[in-house]
Amino acid sequence: MGNFPIQTPVRVAEFYSDDAWIEGRAVDQLREVAGWPGMRAVAGFPDLHPGRFGPVGGAFLADRIYPQLIGPDIGCGMALFRLDLPRRKLKLDKAARRLEALETGVDADTGAAALSGTRAVQLDVCGLGTLGGGNHFCEVQVVDKIADAATASGLGLQAGDLCLLVHTGSRGQGAGVFTGISDTWAEGFLPGSDAAEAYVALHDAAQVWARVNRALIAGRAAEALRCEARLICDAPHNHLERRPDGWLHRKGAAAPDRGLAPLAGSRDSLSYLMAVPEGPPEALGSVSHGAGRRYDRAAMHGRIRRVKSELEAMRKTRFGGRVICADRDLLIEEAGSAYKDAGAVLRDLEAFGLAHAVAAFAPLLTFKTSKGGRG
CB 105 within 8 A of CB 111: yes
Residues 32, 35, 40, CA angle at the centre, nearest 5°?
125
Measure Cα distances from 74 to 35, 70, 112, 170, 285 in Å: 24, 6, 20, 6, 19
The one catalytic residue in 136, 239, 249, 289 is 289
CB 302 within 8 A of CB 175: no
Instruction: Grade residue 296 by pLDDT with cuts at 50, 70 and 90.
Output: confident
| Number of helices (H), then strands (E), in the chain | 10, 15
pLDDT tens by residue, 242-284: 999 999 999 999 999 999 999 999 888 899 999 999 989 999 9
Backbone angles phi, psi at 54, to 5 degrees: 165, 170
Instruction: Grade residue 90 by pLDDT with cuts at 50, 70 and 90.
Output: very high
Closest CA to 331 of 292, 370, 290, 363: 370
Backbone angles phi, psi at 67, to 5 degrees: -60, -30
For residue 375, the model assigns a pLDDT of 42
For residue 320, the model assigns a pLDDT of 87
For residue 297, the model assigns a pLDDT of 85
DSSP state of 362: E
3-state secondary structure of 186: coil
- The more confident residue out of 126 and 315 is 126
Closest CA to 361 of 162, 137, 144, 153: 144
Measure Cα distances from 285 to 97, 221, 362 in Å: 40, 31, 27
Segment among 112-121, 245-254, 278-287, 363-372 with least mean pLDDT: 363-372
DSSP state of 238: E
- As a whole number, mean pLDDT of residues 121-136 equals 92
- The more confident residue out of 305 and 367 is 367
Q: What integer best gives the mean pLDDT of the chain?
A: 92
3-state secondary structure of 134: coil
Q: Compute CA 88 distance to the chain's CA centroid, rounded to the nearest angstrom.
A: 29
Hey, what CATH topology would domain 12-64+77-369 get? tRNA-splicing ligase RtcB (3.90.1860)
- As a whole number, mean pLDDT of residues 20-43 equals 95
Q: Residue 373 pLDDT > 50, yes or no?
A: no
pLDDT tens by residue, 318-345: 888 899 998 888 888 888 888 889 999 9
pLDDT tens by residue, 47-68: 999 998 899 999 999 999 999 9
Percent of the chain at pLDDT exceeding 70 = 97
Q: What CA–CA distance (Å, rounded) separates 59 from 240?
A: 10
For residue 1, the model assigns a pLDDT of 56
Instruction: Grade residue 368 by pLDDT with cuts at 50, 70 and 90.
Output: very high
Sign of the C-alpha dihedral computed for residues 282, 284, 290 and 293 taken in this order:
negative
For residue 5, the model assigns a pLDDT of 58
Q: Residue 366 pLDDT > 90, yes or no?
A: yes
Residues in the chain: 375
For residue 228, the model assigns a pLDDT of 97
Does the annotation count 289 as an active-site position? yes
Beta-bridge mates of residue 250: 59, 239
Q: Residue 372 pLDDT > 80, yes or no?
A: no
Q: Residue 374 pLDDT > 50, yes or no?
A: no
How many Å is the maximal CA-CA distance in the chain? 61
CB 42 within 8 A of CB 286: no
